[in-house]
Structure 1
Amino acid sequence: MLELIFHRRMLEYPCLTADPQAADAIYVPYYAGIDALHYLYGPDYNSSSEQGLNLFEFLTTDSPESWNRKMGHDHFMVLARPAWDFSQPLGNDPPLWGTSLLELPQFYNVTALTVEARAWPWQEHAVPYPTSFHPPNLSLLESWVQRARRSRRTTLMMFAGGGGVGRNPTIRRSIRNECENNTMNKNVKNVNNVGMYGSGVGGFSKLCDVVDCSNGICEHDPIRFMRPMLQASFCLQPPGDTPTRRSTFDSIVAGCIPVFFEESSARAQYRWHLPEDQFGEFSVFIAKEDVVFKETRILDVLRSIPRGKVRRMRERVLEMIPRIMYRKHGSSVGLRAKKDAFDIAIEGVLQKIKSRGQVFAQ
């Protein structure tokens, strides 16, 4: 729904102009992720390299003066899928998964906002996945933050997701094994030493919790994973098919400290929304290779963090909620005073296009 969210919010943008010639940037309301569906699953599978050609024809014929002004350098669009899904090499036969939208030379100048960007193309930038939390007013946001702050964290760590059931060594398999084989997870009646486990909120009734979200069973049921996240101190964010996860932002909304296992899962992605130089203040990093191949136990790492530091990290996570959520369109004036994920993304786009325009002018 990211493309729809941006389009609806853009209609409310205070500096929107009907004159493209007066615009610093031009938003293209093209639903790339939705349009990709018939190339990925439908009868146009064999022509997936053609996604975007009709769009380019429209942009260059409907308003050629807008496109020709900077040859697309001032245009941007939103892609509600990882960039990898639009990066199939042109001419692949038979075609691989995805389309070739981002490989078309016609769009090399256009800025693309995606939920996961690749490391090298300068025109791509990652923005947060939408969560299920879209407050319409400031009081609802503040009451939710207070709920997350007061929530009793009775579980040390939790993982919401699928995978990890095969025989091959993966970080998800290691997480499942550590949770399922931990004898203390079955009986923690004698766990009362708060300092030992670093929660800062009382003794744990469970050291590890796994919420199985296989086969899409969590997609339309956020309560299934949000309630356990509200009860957990740390939320594990292992990579899956791609490095990033929506769960990262769900956990921040729940005040659950994210634990990453790859730099590309968040640190190298969301620089506008998650300050790269402050990652240690609100998250934990454990290299997946250490867990999978060097027998590093995630529980041991997390239990070694002093409870005072855990409290500070959680407070930092709670402070970040407004930055990574997409507030509801038509929200109250009070809430609009706080910059959300959309506001920060548009600021980033404008700065990116401005800096590129200076180079273009030269």
Structure 2
Amino acid sequence: MLPSPEPPPKTLNTKTPFTSFTSIIQPLFSPQNPRSWILFTVLFIQILLLCNLRSFPAATRNATLNVSSPTLVHDQCSSGRIFVYDLPPTFNREILLNCDNLNPWSSRCDALSNDGFGRSATALAGIVPDDLLPVWHWTDQFVTEIIFHNRLLNHKCRVMEPESATAFYIPFYAGLAVGKYLWFNSTAEDRDRHCDMMLRWLLEQPYFKRSNGWDHFITMGRITWDFRRSKDEDWGSSCIYKPGMRNITRLLIERNSWDYFDIGVPYPTGFHPRSLLDVRRWQSFVRDRRRHALFCFAGAPRRAIRNDFRGVLLSQCRNSGESCRAVNCAGSRCSNGTSAILETFLDSEFCLQPRGDSFTRRSIFDCMLAGSIPVFFWRRSAYLQYEWFLPGEPDSYSVYIDRNAVTNGTSVKSVLERFSKEEVRKMREKVIEYIPRLVYAKPKQGLEDVKDAFDFAIEGVLRRFKDQEEPGFQKW
């Protein structure tokens, strides 16, 4: 009888609870399993957030955690938001397309090219630093309408819904539209045509009706006097005197100092920086520049004018020998700047700034951009024009000489020689400090780390509109 077989040995169960758990989740963490990558990504992001929060100061961390999600990012538009009207193209785009016919003498297409900056100023090679040559253009003095329109279309505080706006921009190229009709045999109707059409359109807009224009603004790219015709036979358009324009804030390169709604903004110069680095580079360049002449004058005499003051200054300049440099701007030689003008300003401690065809002239800004100290003979040339852009103390950056004293024999050279080197250095430093406020940047979004003339203008407009809504403000 065979012995009964022994039972098979019992197999020990070596699976611990841990190994069982591992066997369950191991497939989940397999690289071939797409869910594992999602899990790893979520965990990694949470770890990063935790580490970053621990690196913040406690006060900052608490403040961040206590705000609601829509305001996590600082509100950069606390001063207001801007709605840009989509005007019919006849008021802006078609005017640019018609650039060949905007001037009775020649085409304006080159001047209005490159988003209004004009042709590249390659002739300045050797005068400006090589790395800054690309930011220099032959920019026309009457193109602020184009510059402001492009910048506002790309502004961080632009809104597409008018109900959320606190300011309304009217992109009408009033200066370019009237330019061809300011000369020769145009009629009053010709000079007013575009403005009349624009106002008929604007007066039908509900948000204009709501405020009667108090929260609306416009750029008019010429001097205010080109839009203030009182009688049909007089110069210019009567656009500013139209009823619909009464309460609209107007940005002009020369304002009427007694009109609340006129705001003076800097004439465009040829320098359009791309970055803060361009601005700082230029400031250093003009600060370190060796200047050989005491003063200079860029302009032309007005021989048809009796007792022409420009002629007096040119005469004094010629009689001052090497102390004064002059640039003859007869005709249209200096209309958009020349290399001779910039080189002369860069070489001079002071630059003489008499009134131009009106109280202001573009030369003021060309001069200061070059780090030269402006010498004024009319207070309305700058002090009563550009309050948002120039220092509040005129003596800190400029010299004022009474024009009547000069006409009666006072020597400009003698007055300027009285300033010590230290006084000149301080005035120049103030001029250089304010250069960013006097120029229009090249990028349509502006510069990230510094405000330019456009930024100061728009901030001023928004501040004005906010002030107008204060209880104590009296609207008329």
Are residue 60 (structure 1) and residue 203 (structure 2) matched? Answer: yes
Distance 1:272 1:245, change over 3 A: same
Match of 2:238 among 100, 103, 106: 100
Work out the CA distance in 1 between the residues paired with 2:431 and 2:161.
40
**Deviation at residue 135 of structure 1 after TM alignment:** 0.8
Greater relative contact order structure (CA < 8 Å, 6+ sep): 1
Question: How far does residue 51 in structure 1 lie from its aligned partner after superposition?
Answer: 4.4
Q: Which deviates the most, 48-57 or 15-24?
A: 48-57
Distance 2:420 2:475 in 1: 53
Give the structure 1 partner of residue 95 of structure 2.
none
Q: Deviation at 1:50?
A: 4.3
Residue 343 of structure 1 aligns with an amino acid whose one-letter code is D
Code of the residue aligned with 2:168 in structure 1: it is I
Given the alignment, which residue of 412, 416, 424 partners 1:298?
Answer: 412
Cα offsets for 1:76-100 (capped at 9, x unmatched) = 00011110010001xx24x211100
Asked if 2 retains the 8 angstrom alpha-carbon contact of 1:115 and 1:126, the reply is yes
Residue 179 of structure 2 corresponds to 37
Select between 206-215 and 261-270 the one with higher mean Cα deviation. 206-215
Once superposed, what is the RMSD of the aligned Cα atoms? 1.9
Paired residue secondary structure (1:118): coil
Alignment partners' CA distance in 2, 1:44 and 1:120: 29
Partner of 1:348: 460
Once residues 240 and 285 of structure 1 are traced to their aligned partners in structure 2, the CA distance between those partners, rounded to angstroms, is 16
Residue 164 of structure 2, aligned match among 22, 27, 41: 22
Task: Tell me what 1:308 maps to.
Answer: 422
| Matched residue count | 331
Structure 1 alignment gaps of length 5 or more = 186-205
1 CA distance for matches of 2:188 and 2:244? 20
Shift of 1:158: 0.4
Q: Does 1:109 find its partner at 2:250?
A: no
**Residues 42 and 5 of structure 1, relative CA distance in 2, 3 Å threshold:** farther
Change (3 A) 1:43 1:169: closer
Q: Which runs of 5+ in 2 are unaligned?
A: 1-142
2:227 aligned partner, one-letter code: F
Q: 1:153 aligns with which of 264, 278, 291?
A: 291
Question: Over alpha carbons, which structure has the higher Rg?
Answer: 2
Q: Among all aligned residue pairs of Structure 1 and Structure 2, give the percentage whose two residues are the same amino acid.
A: 37
Match of 1:180 in 2: 318
Paired residues for 1:1-362 under 5 Å: 1-41=143-183, 44-47=186-189, 48-61=191-204, 64-89=205-230, 92-93=231-232, 95-165=233-303, 168-182=306-320, 185=321, 206-276=322-392, 278-292=393-407, 294-330=408-444, 335-358=447-470, 359=473
What SS does the aligned partner of 1:36 have? helix
Distance 1:109 1:361, change over 3 A: closer
- Structure 1 segments, 4+ long, off by >3 Å, are 41-44, 164-167, 357-362
CA distance change for structure 1 residues 42 and 67 in 2, over 3 Å: closer, same or farther? farther
Alpha-carbon contact 2:438-2:453 (below 8 Å) kept? yes
Residues 158 and 165 of structure 1, relative CA distance in 2, 3 Å threshold:
farther
Residue in 2 aligned with 1:200? none
Contact 1:255 1:314 in 2 (8 A): yes
